[in-house]
Amino acid sequence: RTAVDTPLPVLGRDVRVPLVTGGEVPYAALDYAASAPALQRVWDDVAAYAPYYGSVHRGAGHLSQLSTDLFENSRATVAEFLGCRPGDDVVFTRSTTDSLNLLAAVLPPGTHAFAFESEHHAALLPWGRRGDTAVTWLDAPRTPGQAVEALERALAAREPYGPALVCVTGASNVTGELWPVRELAAAAHAHGARIVLDAAQLVPHQAVDVAESDVDWVAFSGHKLYAPFGAGVLAGRADWLRRAEPYLAGGGATRSVARGAAGEPVVEWHDTVARHEAGSPNVIGAYAIASACRALTAAGFERLEAREQALLARLREGLAEVPGARVVSLFGDDAPRVGVVSFVVDGWNSSHFAAALSAEYGIGVRDGLFCAHPLVRALLAEGGGSSDTAARSASAWGGGGRRAGECGTPDEVPAASAIRVSFGVG
Ligand code: PMP
């Protein structure tokens, strides 16, 4: 626990938490991969705008106009931040999960999706749920080169040779490892497939360039980009989006609605980005994302990355001194990664270890399978996994351990899980 310089202040740096051993310490937020704190700048921008809040696309009043401008300018800021091509759509969604489900909903009939089994569930599960689409999960590769080869083989072998979509992560939410996005995009395109980049863990750490990396779509969540106000993004090719049935049916997505002669609905959907943004949009969430994009760009990713890599090196050095600690990875120890590291410690139940970090040191990390069950189970099996034979029980640290959540309830504590430390700016 050493003070580090702060390139961009975040909320919560002054929050103090009680320790089970008595006293209190400043909270050490090391769970950015689950959700990052808001940048101070984002919070300030949101607070400055809040009094001027008004309905978007739905009002003639001054504040409605102002809010509509702000919402649309936020879209333009995100497009610029992502390096989108002219004509690309930027759809505001709720999250990465929502964005990928939206894309799954607009796939042309017959689309075959491909994803490595090592992906986050949000990038694994949306595909193939519609009866007229299919999905194949590919083996987790052990080198970036293997990933490209495996994808090429799978795409070449597909029958019939119809539309295909590849979904791949930019940086793993488990190992932090970077994936060969450009090469995978080239492989996908060489076989007539399209590719969507799950950038949930990439955008907070590295500049993403949609045009240059030649991905067709990119998805991310505001809450991992220091803008935790309930919005996400799906950006990319407009054609599939604008041809498909709207993701949500409702106001704002329609040009005209009428009742036909036999009482049937006669609906003309917008063929703009509005088609998939039915309902009153989350203008504060979108504005917060745009604010974070501006702040990160102004700070400069090179500078942010340099600091993050220095912290990463320190974390790895520290872990090397912990008896029995083993960092998990797919591509090997030296593979480039962002500030996300998962590990197990021999003789320790990971839930207990994480609970102890919180209760005894005020350090907030995450333990579990990180919504990437196939990957984490396989990585844990390799090294024997973490032990369930902790000498002390989690309740000794004030009832810590796993809480109810998206990937399991306290009754479903997995026999083996990992501990994840993740960070970024702030
Ligand atoms: N993909 C990756 C790589 C993630 O890390 C996450 C969040 N852990 C998601 C997708 C899903 O993001 P959200 O929960 O914001 O929808």
Read off the CATH number of the domain in which 133 is found: 3.40.640.10
Task: Give CA–CA dist 406/422, Å, rounded.
Answer: 19
CA angle 6, 95, 65 (to 5 degrees): 90
pLDDT along the chain (426 residues), means of 10: 72 95 96 98 98 94 97 98 98 98 98 98 98 97 98 91 95 98 98 98 98 98 98 98 96 97 98 96 98 97 95 96 96 96 95 96 96 94 53 35 43 68 93
Note whether residue 11 is domain-resident. no
Whether residue 167 lies in the annotated active site: no
Tally of CB atoms within 10 A around 392: 12
Q: What is the pLDDT at residue 159? A: 75
Note whether residue 7 is domain-resident. no
Final residue belonging to a domain, choices 235, 263, 298: 298
| CATH code (residue 351) | 3.90.1150.10
Q: Are residues 330 and 187 in the same domain?
A: no
End-to-end CA distance of the chain: 14
Task: Give CA–CA dist 232/115, Å, rounded.
Answer: 21
Q: Are residues 31 and 20 in the same domain?
A: yes
Q: Are residues 113 and 214 in the same domain?
A: yes
> Of all protein residues, whose CA lies closest to atom 6 belonging to ligand 1?
200
Note whether residue 187 is domain-resident. yes
187-216 pLDDT, tens digit per residue, is: 999 999 999 999 999 999 999 999 999 999
What is the Å distance from ligand 1's center to 380 Cα? Answer: 21
Range of the domain at 108: 43-298
Q: Are residues 162 and 277 in the same domain?
A: yes
Query: Among 167, 293, 371, 407, which one carries the catalytic annotation?
Result: 371
DSSP 336-372: -B-SEEEEEETT--HHHHHHHHHHHH-EE-EEE-TT-
Q: Are residues 259 and 378 in the same domain?
A: no
Note whether residue 112 is domain-resident. yes
Tally of CB atoms within 10 A around 50: 10
Cβ contacts of 348 within 8 Å, gap of 6 or more? 324, 386, 387, 390
Q: What is the pLDDT at residue 4? A: 59
Cβ contacts of 272 within 8 Å, gap of 6 or more? 242
Q: What is the pLDDT at residue 382? A: 86
User: Which amino acids bring their CB within 6 angstroms of ligand 1?
Assistant: 33, 95-97, 120, 122-123, 169, 173, 198, 200-201, 221, 223, 371
Final residue belonging to a domain, choices 298, 330, 347: 298
Q: Are residues 87 and 218 in the same domain?
A: yes
Note whether residue 9 is domain-resident. no
Q: Are residues 380 and 309 in the same domain?
A: yes
Final residue belonging to a domain, choices 298, 328, 363: 298
Q: If 0-12 CB within 10 Å is exposed, 13-18 middle and 19+ buried, where does residue 87 land?
A: exposed
Note whether residue 399 is domain-resident. yes
The best mutation among 121, 181, 223, 224 to test binding of ligand 1, ranked by most ligand atoms within 8 Å of the C-beta, falls on 224
The best mutation among 92, 99, 173 to test binding of ligand 1, ranked by most ligand atoms within 8 Å of the C-beta, falls on 173
79-133 pLDDT, tens digit per residue, is: 999 999 999 999 999 999 999 999 999 999 999 999 999 999 999 999 999 999 9
Note whether residue 6 is domain-resident. no
Tally of CB atoms within 10 A around 57: 16
What is the Å distance from ligand 1's center to 123 Cα? Answer: 8
Task: Give CA–CA dist 111/107, Å, rounded.
Answer: 6
- CB of 160 within 8 A of CB of 206? no
Residue by residue, what is the 3-state secondary structure of 114-142?
Answer: EEECCCCHHHHCCCCCCCCCEEEEECCCC
Q: Which residues pair with 24 in a beta bridge?
A: 18
Q: Are residues 23 and 75 in the same domain?
A: no
C-alpha distance from residue 146 to each of 36, 116, 151, 329, 373 (Å): 32, 11, 8, 15, 21
Q: Are residues 154 and 267 in the same domain?
A: yes
What is the Å distance from ligand 1's center to 21 Cα? Answer: 34
Q: Are residues 214 and 247 in the same domain?
A: yes
Provide the 8-state DSSP code for 269. Answer: E
* Total domain count, the chain: 2
Q: Are residues 32 and 144 in the same domain?
A: no
Handedness of CA 391, 395, 401, 402 (dihedral sign): positive
Task: Give CA–CA dist 59/68, Å, rounded.
Answer: 9
Q: Are residues 31 and 122 in the same domain?
A: no
- CB of 274 within 8 A of CB of 253? yes
Note whether residue 363 is domain-resident. yes
